[in-house]
A and B are shown apart, each in its own frame.
Chain A
Amino acid sequence: MSSATREALPQGITWFKYAAPQTFFPLAGALAPWFAAIAVVLFVAGLYIGFFVAPTDAQQGEAYRIIFIHVPAAWMSMLIYLVMAFWAGVGLAFNTRLSHMMASALAPTGALFTFLALWTGALWGKPTWGTWWAWDARMTSELLLLFLYFGFMALQAAIDDPRRADKAGAVLALVGVINIPIIYFSVKWWNTLHQGASVSLKSAPTMATTMLTGMLVMVFACWAYAIAAALWRVRCIILERERRSDWVRDYLGAGR
Chain B
Amino acid sequence: MNWGSAADFFAMGGYGLYVWGSYAVTAVCIAIELVSLARRRRAAGGPS
Contacts and interface: CB of A to CB of B under 8 A. Distances in A.
Contacts of B19: 62-63, 65-66, 123
Chain B, interface size category, equals 20 to 34
B18 A232 contact: no
Nearest to A63: B15
A120 B19 CA distance: 8
A112 B37 CA distance: 13
Interface string A93-134: 000000000000000110010011001100110110000000
A236 B36 CA distance: 11
Contacts of A69: 22-23, 26
A123 B44 contact: no
Contacts of A252: 45-46
B37 A232 contact: yes
- Chain A contact residues: helix, strand, loop or mixed: helix
Chain A, interface size category, equals 20 to 34
A239 interface: yes
Contact of B44 (A55, A63, A112, A236): A236
Contacts of A108: 33
Contacts of B33: 108-109, 112, 229
B41 A235 contact: yes
A240 interface: yes
Contacts of A243: 44-45
Contact of A233 (B3, B22, B40): B40
A247 to B, nearest CB: 13
B46 A236 contact: yes
A70 interface: yes
B15 A61 contact: yes
Given A116-B29, A239-B46, 10 more contacts: A61-B13, A69-B23, A69-B26, A124-B22, A233-B40, A235-B46, A236-B40, A243-B44, A243-B45, A255-B47
17 contacts: A52-B3, A55-B2, A61-B14, A62-B15, A62-B19, A70-B22, A73-B26, A112-B33, A120-B25, A123-B18, A123-B21, A124-B22, A229-B34, A233-B37, A236-B37, A255-B46, A255-B47
Interface of A: 51-52, 55-56, 61-63, 65-66, 69-70, 73, 108-109, 112, 115-116, 119-120, 123-124, 126-127, 225, 229, 232-233, 235-236, 239-240, 243, 252, 255
